[in-house]
Structure 1
Amino acid sequence: MATTSRSREPAVLAARRDALQVDARAGRIRRVLAIRFSRLGDVIFTTPALSLLHERLPGVCIDYLAGGPAGALVRHHPAVNEVLRFEPGWHRPNWVLRRPWLVREIARRGYDLALVFESDQPTRDWLERVCARAGVRHVMSRSSLVQPAGLPPAVHSCEKHLRLLTPLGLVPDARPYEVFPGPEDIARADALLRAHAAEAVRPLVGIQAGAHYTRFPDRLLRSVGLRHKTYKAWPAAHWGELARRLVAERGARLVLTGTAGERALAEEIAARAGAPPELAPLVVAGATSVGTLAALVARTDVFVSIDTGTMHLAAALGVPTVALFGPTDSAHHGPYGQRGTARVVRSGIACSPCKKPARKACTLNRCLAELEPKQVLAAVEELL
């Protein structure tokens, strides 16, 4: 069904929901396509919905359409049958050029239901049209969802995704997000640790200090008023002090993760740690695949990160996680469902968290600059 103003009218949405419920009760929902483009954390946020669907409707076959390497995070998920990868790039005309291929791929698999987990409305609308063109019988997204009666408004992104399953008669429950590394990635991660004599050193502490828009070039970000996510950054000097104290006081071996664009920052933190040769930090920023990164993070004893996808990766793997939050709201984007194994640390200043317009205009980043290393270290100590 094409996305139009009429298709968003309450009566039309209710009719679509009722038709889906009829097919679900009759057992006619057999093949489902879950769709989420974008980054690591965005894909991880969909995993509670995948688990609920797999558990409550065990006969349903679920495929996953991902927009990049983040699809590796659900390749070994028990609920997922196959991961399809669609990479049109950031240049919008590429989406038009590759649309026929995507329509054919979806059509030949004969899906009964598409769950479009996208938060960006233009992308969501485009995907709804693609699925309708491919003959998918039912397409559900936030745009087509009627707020279920008797349920409070969803707050966290995971909860918003879980709500897409309510037309199937599935009541959302509290369940964590989860990631399952594959055996080949586990083998690569273990080999990497052995090569650096790090597998036997404890504690092994992971650090993710950067959060970049890795999919988009700088000139595009500037054209739409964005910058690489420096508003989430904790000062390098603070990271260095935390690293130094972890090495000196706990004898920790550090594993510094990130993208290739964050490698310089990771190397700076490693240098500031002042570690002896036997505890030299392992810098893997830009040197691993997403799957190997997941397996490597799973080997750490505690993971310290700003608000980024790797933080969610650590929490989803069950690794004790310390999450540094400043301008963003942990109620919406914080560790989800990890009872007792995650700590959110803030400076506590009054303007944090803030809304996006203020976030873009702020150049001081006081909410993170005033978060002291001793506060973060105390949270790490609680979890070690």
Structure 2
Amino acid sequence: MALLVFGKPRRRPVQRVERVLVIRTDERVGNVLLTIPLLRALRRGLPGARIVFLHAASKRDLVEGLPYVDRLEPFEKRDFFRRPRRFLAQLSRLRRERFDVVIEAGHYHAFSLTAALLARAVRPRLVIGHDRGPARHFFDHPVPPPANVVQDVAVKLSLLSPLGIPEAGRELETPLARDEAARQRMRELLAAQGIDVDRLLVLNPGARMAIRRWDAARYGELAVRLAERFALVPVILWGPGEEALARAVVEASGGRAHLAPPTNLCELAALLSLARAFVTNDTGPMHLGVACGVPTVAVFLATDPERWGHPGARFVAVDLRGCEGDEVEAVLRAADQVFPRTGEGRELAG
């Protein structure tokens, strides 16, 4: 069907690039953040080009004010069925921009028909994307996936290869980490609960998938031992549907830990940007914590830290898959590597 509608992709040579569209349609926090190093490299490699980032509309706050793009293009998947006129108007507007290159930047392990159709429907000179599933029917330059496990950001940056652009660092970032007004509101909110903001330790026991959630009792024990070892005040994070889990951690800590206030995405970033230390499962807030610059220890129960972890001195992954020893001790040893000792400060991300 793709061949009939759009014609056969052709491996055209990449010539002068003046207009680029990057597409990332999925709505998960981490996936948007993992695309930012690609945008940064494009801006530095094509300083005179116009770069547009099409992203899930619900995650606009993560990238609003990002210096690497000329325009954000919020996208609602449901518009195709619920608001077809708005969808067609958006598609028409994108076509008029006459993009030289479209980069479909979804996961390399899972083909997105929505993103692939959108990439071709915009009618650029050429389309670049990961080679998976039926990608060769849509992309002019399908980029092969890695043969072995490779960090996800590094794989995303491989999409630059047809353009001959080098990477510009693999660090995550978000303008939300520098929203001082939101940070001040969070300071006041925490102070009203009697929480010392200067000694803030955030723990995130939740995750979208239950298989990624470390045991609440272990989180409770960890909260107490980290508080004692680093002179910090533990606060338990929770998202939609996770309040009972967070309260179980507070109870397991003997009341030593505090329940975090409810947060939206902006407030969550403000909370993490204020924290001196962060322990989390492998989930969206893990990537947000890294983007906010907080020293992070990440617990991996079901996924590979080689792919989903992050390089750098402020991040340590604890791989508990098949662990037969003391899991809390393993996390404590990781915390010793990155958490600041009493009297040490931390820099604000960005």
Structure 1 and Structure 2 fold alike (TM over 0.5): yes
Match for residue 177 of structure 1 among 172, 175, 193: 172
The alpha carbon displacement at 1:60 in A equals 1.9
Contact 2:37 2:168 in 1 (8 A): no
Secondary structure class of the residue paired with 1:170: coil
User: Are residue 136 (structure 1) and residue 131 (structure 2) matched?
Assistant: no
Percent of aligned pairs with the same residue? 27
Structure-1 separation of matches of 2:313 and 2:239: 29
- For 2:346, the equivalent position in structure 1 comes to none
- For 1:262, the equivalent position in structure 2 comes to 242
Cα deviation, 1:45-71, whole Å, max 9, x if unaligned, reads: 111111111111111222222224333
- For 1:126, the equivalent position in structure 2 comes to 114
The alpha carbon displacement at 1:107 in A equals 2.6
The alpha carbon displacement at 1:8 in A equals 11
Contact 1:99 1:130 in 2 (8 A): no
Written as runs of structure 1 = structure 2, the 5 A alignment for 1:45-84 is 45-84=34-73
Cα deviation, 1:104-132, whole Å, max 9, x if unaligned, reads: 34234443322111228886333333343
TM, length-normalised to structure 2: 0.81
User: Are residue 160 (structure 1) and residue 155 (structure 2) matched?
Assistant: yes
Deviates more, 1:151-160 or 1:318-327: 151-160
Structure-1 separation of matches of 2:110 and 2:288: 27
Structure-2 separation of matches of 1:133 and 1:53: 22
**Cα–Cα, structure 1 residues 105 and 126, in superposed 2: closer, same or farther, change >3 Å?**
same
**Cα–Cα, structure 1 residues 258 and 109, in superposed 2: closer, same or farther, change >3 Å?**
farther
Structure-2 separation of matches of 1:97 and 1:268: 47
Contact 2:279 2:297 in 1 (8 A): yes
Secondary structure class of the residue paired with 2:241: helix
**Cα–Cα, structure 1 residues 315 and 137, in superposed 2: closer, same or farther, change >3 Å?**
same
The alpha carbon displacement at 1:210 in A equals 1.0
- For 1:321, the equivalent position in structure 2 comes to 296
Structure-2 separation of matches of 1:314 and 1:299: 10
The alpha carbon displacement at 1:72 in A equals 1.9
The alpha carbon displacement at 1:236 in A equals 0.8
- For 1:218, the equivalent position in structure 2 comes to none
Secondary structure class of the residue paired with 2:175: coil
Structure-2 separation of matches of 1:206 and 1:281: 10
User: Are residue 210 (structure 1) and residue 206 (structure 2) matched?
Assistant: yes
Cα deviation, 1:194-243, whole Å, max 9, x if unaligned, reads: 2321675443111111111xxxxxxxxxxxxxxxx111110111111111
Contact 1:205 1:252 in 2 (8 A): yes
Deviates more, 1:157-166 or 1:135-144: 135-144
Contact 2:129 2:143 in 1 (8 A): no
**Cα–Cα, structure 1 residues 237 and 317, in superposed 2: closer, same or farther, change >3 Å?**
same
The alpha carbon displacement at 1:260 in A equals 1.6
Q: Aligned pair count?
A: 328
Contact 2:154 2:170 in 1 (8 A): no
Contact 1:247 1:275 in 2 (8 A): no
Secondary structure class of the residue paired with 2:112: helix
Structure-1 separation of matches of 2:114 and 2:212: 30
Secondary structure class of the residue paired with 2:52: strand
**Cα–Cα, structure 1 residues 291 and 99, in superposed 2: closer, same or farther, change >3 Å?**
same
Structure-2 separation of matches of 1:161 and 1:122: 13
- For 2:221, the equivalent position in structure 1 comes to 241
User: Are residue 300 (structure 1) and residue 289 (structure 2) matched?
Assistant: no
Structure-1 separation of matches of 2:182 and 2:60: 18
Contact 1:190 1:296 in 2 (8 A): no
User: Are residue 193 (structure 1) and residue 173 (structure 2) matched?
Assistant: no
| Larger helix proportion of the pair | 1
Written as runs of structure 1 = structure 2, the 5 A alignment for 1:80-91 is 80-89=69-78
Cα deviation, 1:170-201, whole Å, max 9, x if unaligned, reads: 13465322222166x43123212223216754
Deviates more, 1:60-69 or 1:162-171: 60-69
Q: Name the aligned partner's letter for residue 288 of structure 2.
A: L
Deviates more, 1:153-162 or 1:300-309: 153-162
TM, length-normalised to structure 1: 0.74
Contact 1:37 1:65 in 2 (8 A): no
- For 1:226, the equivalent position in structure 2 comes to none
The alpha carbon displacement at 1:92 in A equals 8.7
Segments of 5+ residues of structure 2 without an aligned counterpart are 340-350
Cα deviation, 1:269-302, whole Å, max 9, x if unaligned, reads: 22333346xxx62413xx3221332222111111
The alpha carbon displacement at 1:378 in A equals 2.6
Segments of 5+ residues of structure 1 without an aligned counterpart are 213-228, 350-366
Structure-2 separation of matches of 1:234 and 1:60: 45
Match for residue 375 of structure 1 among 330, 335, 341: 330
Cα deviation, 1:301-346, whole Å, max 9, x if unaligned, reads: 11101111111111122211101012211111112x3x22111112
Q: Name the aligned partner's letter for residue 274 of structure 2.
A: R
Q: Name the aligned partner's letter for residue 232 of structure 2.
A: A
Secondary structure class of the residue paired with 1:23: coil
Structure-2 separation of matches of 1:121 and 1:275: 42
- For 2:252, the equivalent position in structure 1 comes to 272
